[in-house]
Each structure stands twice: as C-alpha cells, then as structure tokens.
Amino acid sequence: MTDRQTLSQELARFAADLEWQQIPAGVRERTKLLLIDAIGVAFASTRFEFAHRALSALTLMGAGDCDVIGMPAKLSLRDAVLLNGILIHGLDYDDTYLPGSVHLTASCVPTSLGVAAARGASGEDLLTACALGLEAGARLGAAGKGGFLRSGFHATSVVGTFACTIAAGRLMQMSAEQLAMAQGIALSTASGNMQPMQDGSWTKRLHPGWSGASGIMAATLAQQGYIGPTEAYEGRFGLYPCFLGQHAKDADLDIVRNGLGERWEFPRTSIKLFPACHQSHAFFNAALAIAREYQVRAEDIESIRVRIAEPAVPLICEPLAAKRKPDSSYAAQFSLPYGIACCLTRGRFGLAELEESSYSDPELVALAHKMDYEIDPNSGFPKSRSGEVIVHTKTGKKLSRRESILPDEPAVPEAILEKFMDTACSAMSAARARRIRDVLLDIERLSDVRALMRLLSGA
C-alpha cells in the first residue's frame, strides 16, 4: 500500500487551492491572449456553413439563456458551450499545445466563458479557471507522448474532457474531493477519434465543444454526490491504459506531476498563423520560403516531394488521392498537397483558400497532384513539427527548404492581436472588433462575465 495521492487528487488539490494572485503575471497575460485568439477565430467561423448547420440542430433541441459567440441564439449551457467549441475549432485556426498535440483553448475557453456567465463570475474567476484547465490539459496531453494520435484518438477531445471538468469545477467552487471525483466521472465521457481526417467530414469540429459539455456534466454530477472511479488516469482501465493501447507503456505521468503549480507549461501553446492542421505549418513555411526565394511558377514545377513524420501522414497526406483533390473547405484544411500548392503559387494560405472557388481551382488541383511524400525518421515529433519541401523543376533544378515549429516559440502579442482583428473583421466592422478587443484586453477588471457574453453574442 502507498499513501501517494492519485493523479486525480493531485490535480484536484492544485485546482481547488490556487488563487488568482498566485498565477504569475506572464501566465495571466498569456491566458488572456489565448482567449482573445480563440474568440476571434469563433467570429470568423460564423461565416461558414458548418456553424449554421450546428446552430439549426441545437436550436431544435431547445432554447436556453446562454449566449453564443457571434450568433443570434440563446441555448442551454451545455449546448452553448458545444456550439462555441465548434466555432473556435471549426476552421482549425485555433492554437495547439504541440507537446501534447492538443487544441485546449477550443474546449477550455467555451467552458470557462459559459460557466462563468451562468454563475455571474468575475473576469478574474474566468481567467483563473481557464488557466487551470489549460495547464491540466497541457500536462495530461504531453504525458501521452503522442500515443493518443498513434492510437487513432483525438487528444483534444479526450484530454480536453478532463481539462474542462477542472475548469468548470473551479468556477463551481467545488472542493478538492469533489474535483477528484469529477475527473473519475469524466473518464466515462471522454471520446473523440481521428476518422474524420480520412474523408474531410465534419465531426472533428464537434470534439472540443463536446469535451466542454462533458466536463460540465461530470463536474455537476460530482457536486451532487455522484461517485466515479478514483484512479481516472493510472487505473487498470484508466485514461492512459485504455486510450493508448500498445503505446500505454510510453506514457509518463511524471510529466503531469513534476513542477505542478510551480512551472507553467501551457504558455508555450502555439498560435496558428494558417487556418489548417498544425502538422502542415512547417511545410507551408518551407513552401513560402521557396516561393519567395525562387519566384517559382506552377508551370515550371515537375514534381514536389515532402519529408514528413509518420504520425502526421493519416492527417494530411492519406488517402493521397483525396488529399490531392479536396472537395470541401474542411478537407482543404487537412490537405498538405493543396496547401503547398497554394503557398507555392499564391504565396499564402488564408481564409480565402477555404472557399470552393479556391480548392476547386484547376491549376491548384493539378499542382497538388504533383506532390508525393516520404517518411522522415528524424522529424522530431512530437516535441516539434518539422517539414521539408523539395521542388524539382522542369529545367532540372532542385529547390528545397526545411522548417521547424517549436513549442518554445509562441507568437508575440502583436501577432495575436493582429490575427484577432483579421478574423473578427471577417464577420463584423473594424469598429466593433476594436471595441471587443479592448474589453478583452481588460477582462480581469470585469465584475460579471455576463456583460462580456452579451457583447460577444450576435444578438
């Protein structure tokens, strides 16, 4: 027998005891910037069909009194959190904690906003809960050592359920004992697989919001005395043994424990500067560098070859025939051949490249068909995302570039705020976007988050 606490208990104690004043100033500021980025991306998503399909479905399930970002709707708490998660993650323009391959703000931000508004909590309360969820999720994701993805699970959704349980529980002022129990309950609701990446279907967009709704349910059940397993993570059928399968032996739970509350990990979260799978970004940077340096034209290219980490192949390269000719905006976001074609010929990959007129462009489709790949055994995955692009021209030239995206290179505040204005202004006037930005920059001064949600709503 041992007196050592379970991982659920350690995370619960951390979440229950932490005070706003104990969070380092830099961590507070990073939390705020991640929230700002997420909200901007949500606004941009309101222009796309998937957002309105989801709203229609959730409206049929009943009304409520909770606001939705950028949309004129009032839904129940769980449905509003679900839809806000869909909006933040739907364009795959939301941030990524690279060591864990998790999009945590897409789940923690809707959860924290929703519960904080429902309880009339303050901006400080909101940011504290959000930071706690982000930190727990970052550590839990990294502890999997890439095993979730290798096993076909979407770590964003699976791990996000526990992160959201902790964020919601903190806002609900739950005790450490209740928070530990809530994580056990969350184990039975955690879900999310990578099958949508095979055909460009929409269900991956559901995952962060689903983890938020599940986290709220787990926290509420625990608060009312519902009993869950005590070993949510390390038990025989806990998170890592169950979801990692043959890769469970690689999990390292000390990544969660070591330095908890002393060293903050989630501020290393990477902001996306392209609306596409993060596995593509290093390749996009490499292709853009080739385009800038050599002024290459589509008609000059004989072939394109990329060197890629094996776990990324099912996401952005296979099935190759489908990836070479995406048939939807979502398929385009997970098509490395199409994305590289855009970067080489247009010098960009932005929201305009998600339009049907773009991904069906014959020139881009033809160039995408010239791309093939090989496995890079030295990619550095999952600690970094590297990508090498090799272009062979019809005159016999070989143009190559290798780029890496490291978790220790987060975007500077100016880049994040510039991105917010770009994404928000795709759905509203610049004046309204600036007003929202300014309120968000002072969010810790808010006495009641409900005022913020009214400002963010499309009503």
Instruction: Note the pLDDT of residue 128.
Output: 99
DSSP class of residue 1 equals: -
When pLDDT is cut at 50, 70 and 90, the band that residue 2 belongs to is low
Using CA atoms, how far apart are residues 87 and 198, in angstroms rounded to an integer? 21
Q: Quick check: helix, strand or coil at residue 335?
A: coil
Radius of gyration of the chain (CA): 21
H runs (alpha helix) in 299-410: 313-316, 320-324, 329-333, 336-346, 356-359, 362-368
> What pLDDT does residue 459 have?
59
Compute the distance between CA of residue 123 and CA of residue 127 in angstroms, rounded to an integer. 6
pLDDT digits (tens, 9 = 90+) for 162-220: 999 999 999 999 999 999 999 999 999 999 999 998 888 999 999 999 999 999 999 99
CB atoms within 10 A of CB 250: 14
The Cβ-side half-sphere exposure at 391, using a 13 Å CA radius, reads 30
- Type of residue numbered 94: D
Q: How many CB atoms lie within 10 A of CB 400?
A: 14
Residue 334 in contact with residue 315, Cβ under 8 Å?
Answer: yes
Q: Is 147 helix (H, G, I), strand (E, B) or coil?
A: helix
pLDDT, greater one: 341 or 406: 341
pLDDT of 409 strictly over 70: no
Residue ranges of the chain assigned to CATH 1.10.4100.10:
7-271+413-456
3-state SS assignment for residue 385: strand
pLDDT (0 to 100) of residue 231: 98
- Is pLDDT above 80 for 382? no
Question: How far apart are alpha carbons 458 and 225 in whole angstroms?
Answer: 37
CATH 3.30.1330.120 domain residues, the chain = 278-405
Lowest mean pLDDT among 195-204, 252-261, 355-364, 424-433: 195-204
pLDDT of residue 414 exceeding 60: yes
Looking at the predicted structure, is the pLDDT value of residue 263 above 80?
yes
Vertex 255: Cα angle to 217 and 281 (nearest 5): 85
pLDDT of residue 413: 92
What is the CATH architecture of 278-405? 2-Layer Sandwich (3.30)
Measured between alpha carbons, how far is 32 from 10 in angstroms, rounded to an integer?
25
Give the residue-averaged pLDDT of 87-113.
96
- Considering only residues 377 and 364, tell me which one the structure prediction assigns the higher pLDDT: 364
Mean pLDDT (the chain) is 95
The SS3 of residue 392 is: strand
| E-assigned strand segments in 361-437 | 371-375, 385-393, 398-405
Q: Which of 105, 98, 196, 103 is nearest to 156 (CA)?
A: 103
Tell me the mean pLDDT in the region 327-344.
95
Q: What is the pLDDT of residues 14-66, one digit of tens each?
A: 999 999 999 999 999 999 999 999 999 999 999 999 999 999 999 999 999 99
Q: Which residue has the higher pLDDT, 179 or 101?
A: 179
pLDDT in tens, 292-324: 999 999 999 999 999 999 999 999 999 999 999
CA dist., res. 133 & res. 124, Å (int): 14
Q: What is the pLDDT of residue 1?
A: 38
Pairing of the two strands 371-375 and 301-308: parallel
Determine the pLDDT at residue 442.
98
What is the pLDDT at residue 278? 86
* Residue bearing tokens 């959000």: 130
CB 392 within 8 A of CB 302: yes
Distances (CA, A) of 123 to 19, 51, 119, 163: 13, 27, 12, 19
Is residue 338 scored above 90 in pLDDT? yes
pLDDT over 90 for what percent of the chain?
A: 91
CA distance 350 to 337: 15
> Read out DSSP for 51-73?
HHHHHHHHHHT---SEEEBTEEE
CATH value of 7-271+413-456 in 1.10.1660.10, 1.10.4100.10, 3.10.20.310, 3.20.10.10: 1.10.4100.10
- pTM of the predicted model as reported, rounded to 2 decimal places: 0.90
